[in-house]
Amino acid sequence: MSTVLEQIKEQLMKGKANDVKVLVQQALNENLGAADILNKGLLGGMGIIGEKFKKNEVYVPEVLIAARAMKAGMEILKPALAAAKVEPRGVVVIGTVKGDLHDIGKNLVGMMLEGAGFKVIDAGINVEAPKFIEVARANNATLIGASALLTTTMTNMKEVVDALKASDLAGRVKIMIGGAPVTQSFSDEIGADGYAPDAASAADLARMLAA
């Protein structure tokens, strides 16, 4: 792999946003393909951060600064991606369910999904089931990602699953869930398509569900 792509990966993992910007521009000047800069450079670095996060080798702050560096690199890369017609892996609508105002984990999931090549539409916090469906429909989404941090609000995830199944998006859009009190058995019980325990696993799961 080209040295500049390795450097993008390394500086992204260190969260050096300015260096990542300069390196992405350098890679473009060297006529490296936009898809390679994205996949082997930026997403490569975010993927490694995700794996380290799963193994508790890095923590939330490191993931946040790496994601910030990725965004900085994306700003430079976006026009070249558009020109090369590199499409996102899919569109994911994320939100925290009705009654729940916690958004730190949801935002982290959004960043890891972007780091995995998805376009992320953030529906926000306290999102009612019909709004998830509306936003998914309006954005031609591939996936819905619902987050809950309270035992009293995780039950509202079933409303989102049921609303999706009753809608015209049934069978076309999948739903994954997560958040501290959520488990795989709860996901099975309410009929979601998948559960992820952390943000990096959410990106893996999204890749699988969107394949």
- Of 77 and 175, nearer to ligand B1M (C-beta) is 175
Strand partners, 127: 97
Measured from the CB atom, is 146 or 164 closer to ligand B1M?
146
Size of the site for ligand B1M (CB under 6 A): 28
How far is the C-alpha of 90 from the C-alpha of 116, rounded, in Å?
10
Gap between the Cα atoms of 91 and 210, Å rounded: 9
Among 145, 161, 192, 204, interactor with ligand B1M by CB under 6 A: 145
Token pair listed for 108: 């982290």
Does 135 bind ligand B1M (CB under 6 A)? Our answer is no
Does residue 99 bind ligand B1M (CB under 6 A)?
A: yes
> CA-CA distance, 51 to 3, in Å (whole number)?
22
Q: How far is CA 45 from CA 6, 62, 151, in A?
A: 9, 12, 34
CA-nearest of 152, 192, 199 to 173 is 192
Which token pair is 29?
Answer: 């000047």
Q: Which is nearer to ligand B1M, 8 or 112 (by Cβ)?
A: 112
In whole angstroms, what is the distance from residue 121 CA to residue 129 CA? 15
What's the min distance (Å) between Cβ of 182 and ligand B1M? 7
74 contacts 23 by C-beta, under 8 angstroms: no
Judged by beta carbon, residue 4 or residue 113, the one nearer ligand B1M is 113
Question: 24 or 192: whose CB is closer to ligand B1M?
Answer: 192
Tell me: does residue 108 bind ligand B1M (CB under 6 A).
Answer: yes
Q: Which stretch binds ligand B1M (CB under 6 A): 19-27, 69-77, 101-109, 131-139?
A: 101-109
Which residues of this protein are in contact with ligand B1M, per CB under 6 A? 60, 99-106, 108-109, 145-147, 149-152, 176-181, 196, 198-199, 202
